[in-house]
Structure 1
Amino acid sequence: MTIEPQAAASFDAERALRLAAQTFEIEAEALLAIRSELSSAFIDTMRLVLACRGRVVVMGMGKSGHVGRKIAATLASTGTPAMFVHPGEASHGDLGMVTLQDVVLAISNSGESDELNVILPVLKRLGVPLVAMTGRAGSTLARHADQVLLCKVEREACPLNLAPTTSTTAQMAMGDALAVALLDARGFHEQDFARSHPGGALGRKLLMHVRDLMRSGDDLPRVAPEAEFLQMLHEMSAKGLGFAVVVGPDDVVQGIFTDGDLRRLIERGTDLRAFRAHEVMHTAPRRVRDDVLAVEAATVMEQHRVTSVLVVDAQDRLVGAINSNDLMRAKVI
């Protein structure tokens, strides 16, 4: 059947907004109803998963399958190993992916999905724990399950009460609730989350260290305390960082001279050629250790309103420098 496209001006805008608002109301009410009926089955499901030595194998058909893929991804990224297996493929060989160490989370609003139900006896014979996420407590899926996470909804948000809308929202929310409770029970922290999201903004902030981004070696503008002023300017210009670090024996930091310092001296009309580096330097430059997170260097810059910080080791020896441009290129800030 071909459905002819409607003219853009032919729909009722007020009705559209009313239906949109009604969708939010119906789905919000359904989630609150499910929340009020959370039972010991939720806790027992958590215990099953926490004791699991394998993975949570999520299954579902149609829209429940799409929800299942998202739930599996959320679990996996928050400390609970998980994967999605398509029920239709499971009965044609993919069931071999499921081991005795796994827990199966099967999702079906009706609990009567043929593709799921055909593999339920096999799972029972294998002795694999089965958790059902369904809207019907008396369904075939629920009867076979060891635990039932009931996601019953009174109606779909669809005006025809046909398209999976409220029911899939309920499934998604139940999956999120399970993932959140599990990550808390496991003591899962930001650093753990970053390790599974190394390409994201949080991963960059929590995994990237100053030593990964800093300038070092010959790229550092450094001079001795007795260096002539023009020699220091040449070093600053050659390295292009907007400052020169004054170091003593063994590269121990003694001070810093910046572009801003140069401007202020010029404004005074001072004869700059007579100065030595130690006479114009600041003796307390901002510094961080090379083993701290790059985001900590960004915090130091923000707090002290500077664009660069020096990087030192435990003996206060100069090992590098990092500026805001380095942090922006790495997308830390």
Structure 2
Amino acid sequence: MATEFNYQQAAEQVLNTEIEGLQQLAPFFNEAFTRACDLILNNRTGKVVVMGIGKSGHIGRKIAATLASTGTSAFFVHPGEASHGDLGMVTSDDIVLAISNSGESAEILSLFPVLKRLNVNIISLTSQPNSTMARLADIHLQISVPQEACPLGLAPTTSTTVTLVMGDALAIALLRARGFTSEDFAMSHPGGSLGRKLLLKLSDIMHYGDALPKVAPDTLIRDALLEISQKGLGMTAITDSDETLLGIFTDGDLRRILDKRVDIHTTTIDQVMTTSPTTASPDLLAVEGVNLMQEKRISGLMLLNEGRLVGALNMHDLLKAGVM
């Protein structure tokens, strides 16, 4: 059944309300924010333990994950579970990041006496600077908003968005302060595409041993073609008895010699091979291998270690590895 309700207008009102809330956040990046960053940055032995209940808990999990992936050791602990044993994961070296819009969450406040006895530093994120959590914390970060996007003022909307941005601001400020790099990020994301691009080396995906296509220089072209077909890389290396690379022969080379009507049954491969092929080290990053192959406009690459052939790969291998 059709309705005359304007969904788009309602969505735009949410957007405008949340934008206004985010704009109000700027003054809270103040001296307290600097002290919070310094406290976390200078903590060499402990972790940031994020706590929150309800919607603040959901946001807290995201903040903990963002901190952890950007170089700040962090994890989330549910306040309810902490009261029943999980608080044992918190040590005196840790910093607790406690999140509550009201600053009066009973589940979190009930943990404060124990945290204080452990001499744990507490950073609170609340919208109320005079709340119990704000007063008891070592550092208070304010996250007040003019209004929630929910017209009833009940569902946490703008407040959770602002809290998330405050968490992002902490994480990224710390990332920049410690000089965290894309390589560091990849180390904590080895399963992601960035991790594959930044950690994977050509040696991790190359063909070697019996899978490596190679023939002697006096091999007939017809027999070299059999080697190419069996190994499936669209090329073969030509090496001497010491595995020194003398040249390569590719599918493209085959098309060119057929145009010249070269007899593949009587001609040896050393007469038609490319004698100065592009090569690389197996220690080269896979993403650098892609760049090299694209720059040289080649689809295959021979890998050498101290001048001797140790591996080979082609563009399909790089595609399969998720580097491209």
Q: TM-score, normalised by structure 1?
A: 0.93
Q: 2:237 aligns with which of 220, 233, 245?
A: 245
- Counterparts in 2 of 1:284-295, with a 5 A limit? 284-295=276-287
Per the alignment, residue 307 of structure 2 pairs with 316
Q: Distance in 1 between matches of 2:267 and 2:251?
A: 16
Distance in 2 between residues matched to 1:47 and 1:110, nearest whole Å: 25
CA-to-aligned-CA distance 1:279-333 (integer Å, 9 cap, x gap) = 21112222110111112212222222222111111x2211000112212222122
CA distance in 2, matches of 1:255, 1:121: 74
* 2:118 maps to amino acid: L
Matches for 1:21-170 after TM superposition, within 5 Å: 21-52=12-43, 53-170=45-162
1:182 counterpart residue number: 174
CA RMSD of aligned residues (A): 1.5
1:210-249 mapped onto 2 (5 Å cutoff): 210-249=202-241
Which whole-Å CA distance do the structure 2 matches of 1:319 and 1:188 have between them? Answer: 34
Q: Which amino acid aligns with 2:3?
A: S
Q: C-alpha displacement at 1:229, in angstroms?
A: 2.1
Q: Secondary structure at the match of 2:233?
A: coil
Q: Secondary structure at the match of 1:31?
A: helix
Q: Which runs of 5+ in 1 are unaligned?
A: 1-6
How far residue 249 of structure 1 moved from its aligned partner, in angstroms, is 4.3
Matched, 1:299 2:291: yes
Which deviates further from its counterpart, 182-191 or 229-238?
229-238
Deviations 1:218-251 (A, max 9, x none): 2122122232222322222222221121123421
> Match of 2:249, SS?
strand
Q: Which amino acid aligns with 1:20?
A: A
Query: Residue in 2 aligned with 1:17?
Result: 8
* Contact 2:129–2:142 (CA under 8 A) maintained in structure 1: yes
SS in 2 for 1:291: coil
1:28 Cα deviation (Å)?
1.6
Post-superposition CA distance 1:104-127 (Å, at most 9, x none): 000011111111122223222322
Aligned partner of residue 270 in structure 1, secondary structure? coil
For 2:170 and 2:160, the matched residues in 1 are separated by 15
Structure 2, unaligned runs of 5 or more? none
8 Å contact kept, 2:28–2:141? no
Q: AA paired with 1:57?
A: V
More displaced 10-residue stretch of structure 1: 68-77 or 243-252: 243-252
Aligned equivalent of 1:3: none
User: In 2, Cα distance between the equivalents of 1:117 and 1:233?
Assistant: 76
Please give the alpha-carbon distance, in whole angstroms, between the structure 2 residues aligned to 1:148 and 1:84. Answer: 19
**Structure 2 CA distance for aligned equivalents of residues 237 and 99 of structure 1:** 62
CA distance in 2, matches of 1:221, 1:322: 10
Q: Distance in 1 between the 2:12 and 2:276 partners?
A: 59
- 2:218 maps to a residue whose letter is E
Find the counterpart in structure 2 of residue 327 from structure 1: 318
SS, match of residue 320 in structure 1: strand
Give, in angstroms, the shift of residue 11 of structure 1. 5.7
Give the residue type in structure 2 aligned to 1:22.
Q
TM-score in terms of structure 2 length = 0.95
List structure 1 runs of 4+ shifted beyond 4 angstroms. none
Q: Give the SS at the match of 1:23.
A: helix
Instruction: Compute the displacement of 1:268 (Å).
Output: 2.6
Shift of 1:96: 2.0
Shift of the alpha carbon at 1:201?
0.7
Q: Is the 8 A contact 2:220 2:264 kept in 1?
A: no
Q: Which SS does the other structure have where 1:250 is aligned? A: coil
Identity over aligned residues, as a percent? 52
Partners in 2 of 1:49 and 1:260 — Cα distance? 58
Aligned to 1:4: none
